[in-house]
A and B are shown apart, each in its own frame.
Chain A
């Protein structure tokens, strides 16, 4: 696809991490314009923590890998001005400590995220169930203000399905290339 200088255009970032039983973790970061069209896509090669990391990091391993390592590396690649960073993985919220972007958890009302209920401040934006870490309460106002540009009808959970499909396709492509 032809490239065009659209850095000035505001965008939304969607970060997720996929756990692959065999290969490990794949990170994906999709940057969309406000009409929901893709501007950038970044993904990682598989990341697999070793045994020592698993033992020593304990319960902090996921935030470390999802946020500090994978999230930070992917967000650093982005060239567009991202208004809000969305993720569907609670552990990836840790990226907030390393990037200057208001970061929000999407689909925060689902049972998958029940464990983090005490650490999250939940709120609604349109029909999107969102949450920010209690330690980052100021992000909530920023998120709501900036998301007004896309409107409340925007389904913030839908792009994560695209990322998963793209990572699977990229992985298949890599496998074909390797073969």
Chain B
């Protein structure tokens, strides 16, 4: 029992009291009904027994299908290759001059610009599958350039890499790109890759003498790590240079080969590669030059030329006597010749591969002879023709040539008075050239004409580049012309200035008189119109109306179709050189003898 009294005091403080009477709640309780089992003494019923019957299926065993999963019998074919040592010589990265920064930038550039992949393609005459696969499995050129240790001053054009890929695997090749597309760079890069891959150990490059310094410069630009020896000097020095074993690249000029004939054709001496630049120099198979270069021991033969056919298909036969003797012969029809050389020659033109190159604008300056010039000209022509007529059967091709040259010179300048309609027009044009700070090249076939022009054009700042300028000084002339802002005109002869020079800083080219061969004219024009040209190149071709120049021009236009005859499907065999008939025809004279060919 709880004693509530003990809590009396606290309860009193809280002013709360329990209620007097507690509430009572009633909860109903239901009765749970529990079932009970009753009658335990009643027996359980016994279940009825179950009868079973065994049924045996009457059908046979179920059919089954077994599918054999055999392992495929994999047949494999294997090829082994033996790549040369990666860096076989000692001129690798240590001699590189370009900076790593430039290299990295170039790699990035290559990856973005060269979306395509340039692979080496085996030449058509590579028969063995193993050999064909060897080339196909080589790294792409883009890979070699971007990943390798080789430095490039700038990224090559895609067509240039294709040119390298064409040269690289070939034992015999003619790179016949149009002038200005970079044959030099392509050849140097191919040589460089071959040397670094260990595919070749020695290369001889032969070029015209004026171009030796150009090749040397290009090698230092595109393959700075390669030791290059220029064969020059007295006989003892040359002998020593020829025997330099640790210099993989040697450069010699054609003239020098004649003098060192015994050395270079020594059977004990052999080059892995011989490259002929301006290979049209050996178009005459009977010439000494051709004979000597064909005698050089070599494993690979490459020819570089912008004009594989200058006058006749025979020119190409001459080049192929060096590249792949017997591949073509003189009796072949043009179409057959084209098929036979198709895999050996690579030729691209600017309009096809260099769409970004500035345009070349031709402007024919047809001028009337001055009064004095016309009188002199008419008199000379009448006298000349009369003399030829009187000579009858005794008239020779030389006699006609003398008359042609005489008349062409009169077209340039009147010999008595020095008057010249062409000069007046040229001066007017050069005023504009000089005023705009541009530079121009003036070509003539005569040094005498160039010397006269030098005096008459002095106020424009004139440089001369022709046969009378010593070869040692020519490099300096070009450099001065390029750097000196007061020099606006360079006077060049076709012979000295039409090949190998890079004058892409010139915007104007003037052909003061016309050469016999359009290919030579094109070479001259392309000194300015080439890779690196900043703007359009304007070519002005002077032509005096109603003169021998006009008649020669008609023949030149026909000769411009020469390449189409060889490299297209045309199957008409045309005479491509000047025939005696054509030369006599310039004066409407009858040819006294049968047709002969004339070298331009």
Contact = CB atoms under 8 A, between A and B. Distances in A.
A35 B80 contact: no
Nearest to A37: B83
Contacts of B134: 1, 38
B77 A2 contact: no
Interface of A: 1-4, 6, 27, 30, 33, 35-45, 47, 49, 52-53, 56, 65, 69-70, 73-74, 77, 79, 151, 153-155, 158-159, 161-163, 165-166, 169-170, 173
Contact of B137 (A6, A73, A154, A162): A162
B143 A155 contact: yes
A153 B140 CA distance: 15
Q: Which of B82, B132, B137 has the most CB of A within 10 A?
A: B137
30 contacts: A1-B82, A3-B82, A27-B76, A30-B137, A33-B83, A35-B83, A36-B147, A38-B81, A40-B78, A40-B79, A40-B81, A41-B81, A42-B78, A43-B76, A44-B75, A45-B75, A47-B72, A49-B72, A52-B67, A53-B69, A56-B67, A73-B76, A74-B76, A165-B119, A165-B137, A169-B133, A169-B136, A170-B129, A170-B133, A173-B132
A1 B169 CA distance: 14
Contacts of A43: 76-77
Contact of A41 (B119, B133, B139): B133
B140 A56 contact: no
Given A3-B80, A3-B82, A153-B146, 11 more contacts: A1-B82, A27-B74, A37-B139, A37-B197, A41-B133, A44-B75, A45-B75, A56-B69, A77-B78, A158-B140, A173-B132
B138 interface: yes
Given A33-B83, A53-B69, A155-B143, A38 B74 contact: no
Contact of B74 (A36, A40, A49, A70): A70
B405 interface: no
Nearest to B85: A35
A166 B69 contact: no
Contacts of A153: 107, 146-147
A33 B79 CA distance: 15
Given A1-B131, A155-B143, A173-B129, A77 B136 contact: no
Given A36-B139, A36-B147, A42 B132 contact: no
A45 B74 CA distance: 7
Nearest to B74: A73
Nearest to A72: B74
Interface residues of B, number: 34
A155 B147 contact: yes
Contacts of B78: 40-42, 77
Contact of A39 (B69, B80, B107, B136): B80
A149 to B, nearest CB: 13
B76 A44 contact: yes
A36 to B, nearest CB: 5
Contacts of A35: 83, 86
Contacts of A33: 83, 86
Contacts of B146: 153, 155
Nearest to B87: A35
A56 B69 CA distance: 9
Contacts of A53: 69
B117 interface: yes
B71 interface: yes
Contacts of A52: 67, 69
Contacts of B71: 69
Contacts of A42: 76-79
A39 B83 contact: yes
A22 B426 CA distance: 70
Given A43-B77, A44-B74, A69-B71, A38 B137 contact: yes
A47 B130 CA distance: 22
B147 A37 contact: no
Interface centre among A27, A42, A79, A154 (most CB of B within 10 A): A42
Name, among B71, B81, B140, the residue most crowded by chain A CB atoms within 10 Å (CB to CB): B81
Contacts of A27: 74, 76
A154 B107 CA distance: 12
Nearest to A53: B69
Nearest to A78: B78
Contacts of B132: 169, 173
A151 B107 CA distance: 15
A170 B75 CA distance: 14
Given A44-B75, A53-B69, A1 B147 contact: no
A166 B71 CA distance: 26
9 tightest A-B CB contacts, nearest first: A37-B83, A73-B74, A38-B137, A45-B75, A35-B86, A4-B82, A36-B139, A173-B129, A41-B79
Interface string B1-12: 000000000000
B79 A69 contact: no
Interface string B52-81: 000000000000000101011011111111
B140 A77 contact: no
B60 to A, nearest CB: 26
A158 B133 contact: no
B596 to A, nearest CB: 48
Contacts of B83: 33, 35, 37-39
Contacts of B117: 158, 161
Given A37-B139, A158-B143, A161-B140, A1 B130 contact: yes
Contacts of B81: 1, 37-41
Contact of A170 (B77, B140, B147): B77
B72 A166 contact: no
Nearest to B147: A153
Nearest to A154: B147
Nearest to A80: B80
Q: Which residue of A33, A37, A56 has the most chain B CB atoms within 10 A of its CB atom? A: A37
A27 B75 CA distance: 10
A95 to B, nearest CB: 12
A169 B79 CA distance: 13
A41 B72 CA distance: 21
A43 B130 CA distance: 12
Contacts of B80: 1, 3, 39-40, 79
A81 B143 CA distance: 23
A45 B77 CA distance: 8
Contacts of B144: 36
Contacts of B133: 41, 166, 169-170
Contacts of B107: 153
Nearest to B104: A153
Interface string B125-159: 00001111110111110011011000000000000
Contacts of A44: 74-77
B209 to A, nearest CB: 39
Contacts of A151: 147
Contacts of B197: 37
Contacts of B140: 158, 161-162
Nearest to A158: B143
A74 B139 CA distance: 21
Nearest to A43: B77
